Amino acid sequence: MKKPTPEMRLERVLATLSEEIATASDTEVLEACADLRIQPQMKGSVAFMGVKGAVFPYRFWVLPESDTAPLTDPDDDAPDLTPRRQ
Amino acid sequence: MRDRKTAHIPLIANGKTPLERAVAAKLIGDMNLLRLKASARFLARGLAPDIYWWDLLQEAFARVLNGSRRCPPDVPIDVFMTGVMRSIRAEHWRRRWQLEVSKFLSGDELRDPAPDPERAVVAQQELEAIKDLFADDPIVTHIITGLADGLSADEIRTKYGLSSTEYDSARKRMRRALLRDGIGSKVK
């Protein structure tokens, strides 16, 4: 049998463990929050940092869809956000 | 066809990101948000400084909202969104290495590059970093090694002499540790 490459091994672990997280029960999520002494029920809870309230930005240029995206460095493709001179 | 710099702009119309639009549309609730944050943080391991966990999460919602990914009715939203993030991660991983090798290869060589030893080393390091999260839990470490080897749950139990209870308890500890790691307050 062909030995799996490190990338295949990593992909298997990422697939299984990310699915473990996705299928965790609400009780398990709340238990994990309790371990961290975080109360997600409170308004502005740190548990939601980045996903609710102050949501982290959508940088649409960093993960382009592969079928249309040319091969470029993500940094080269960032929009020009420098102020324009009048 | 719109170019890729403008293709997603309607998704941030009215100042709302794809994630905010999904929340506003009640596609997901608070518990979904916490699970998806934890999944995103786990899947973004090793992608910084180019990509952060919220990039995976926002892009996954962008693709669902623009219709390029559709959630089958029988698949839970968290499982589906996690699958989308995983596929976006894989795309990025391939693209990043393709970009690296394109500096040295061209034409046919670039379309079918030979296995890259450096890429293998990075993957191995990532795998070790995941195991390090559970360094004080040998049963969980065995399970992760077994998963990496492509073993089923029964095969892992047999190989490491674990009872069903030991295996299930270890999985529960593993899930909780991953949730803690993902929900915790660290930004990156």
Q: Do A18 and B86 touch (CB under 8 A)?
A: yes
Flag whether residue B156 sits within 8 Å of chain A, measured between CB atoms.
no
**What is the pLDDT confidence band of residue A56, given thresholds at 50, 70 and 90?**
very high
Pick B96 or A7 by higher pLDDT. A7
Measure the CA–CA gap between B59 and A64, rounded to whole angstroms.
9
Query: What ranges do the domains of chain B cover?
Result: 16-115, 133-188
Q: Decide if B58 and A7 are in contact by the 8 Å CB cutoff.
A: no
Q: How confident is the model at residue A71 (pLDDT cuts 50, 70, 90)?
A: very low
Q: Determine the pLDDT at residue B170.
A: 97
Average pLDDT over residues A48-63: 91
pTM above 0.90, yes or no: no
Using a CB-CB cut-off of 8 Å, the residues of chain B touching A12 are 147-148, 150
How many angstroms away from the CA of A15 is the closest CA of chain B? 7
- The neighbour count for residue A20, using CB atoms within 10 Å, is 21
Q: What is the pLDDT of residue A82?
A: 44
Q: Do B119 and A7 touch (CB under 8 A)?
A: yes
Determine the distance in angstroms separating the CA of A86 from the nearest CA of chain B, rounded to an integer: 24
* Chain B residues lying within 8 Å of A57, measured CB to CB: 17, 54, 58
Residues from chain A that touch B88, judged by Cβ atoms under 8 A, are: 63
ipTM of the complex, rounded to two decimals: 0.84
Angle, helices B117-132/A6-22, rounded to nearest 10 degrees? 40
What is the residue-wise DSSP string for chain B? ---TTTTTGGGGGGG--HHHHHHHTTSS-HHHHHHHHHHHHHHTTTTTTT--HHHHHHHHHHHHHTTSS---TTS-HHHHHHHHHHHHHHHHHHHHHHHHHHTT--HHHHHSPPPPHHHHHHHHHHHHHHHHTTTT-HHHHHHHHHHHTT--HHHHHHHHT--HHHHHHHHHHHHHHHHHHHHSS---
| Contact list, A66 vs chain B (CB under 8 Å) | 91, 94-95
Chain A residues with CB under 8 Å of B20 CB are 55
Residues in chain B where the model's pLDDT stays below 70 = 1-14, 99-115, 185-188
pLDDT tens readout for residues A8-39: 999 999 999 999 999 999 999 999 999 999 99
Least Cα distance to B23 among B65, B54, B63, B51 occurs for B65
| Whether A50 and B176 lie within 8 Å, measured CB to CB | no
- pLDDT per residue over B66-91, tens digit each? 899 999 999 999 999 999 999 999 99
Q: Mean of the per-residue pLDDT values for chain A?
A: 81
| pLDDT higher than 60, residue A81 | no
Considering only CB atoms, which chain B residues are within 8 Å of A18?
39, 42-43, 82, 85-86
Closest to B184 (Cβ–Cβ): which among A23, A36, A69? A36
Percent of chain A with pLDDT over 70: 73
Taking the CA of residue B163 and the nearest CA in chain A, the distance in Å comes to 20
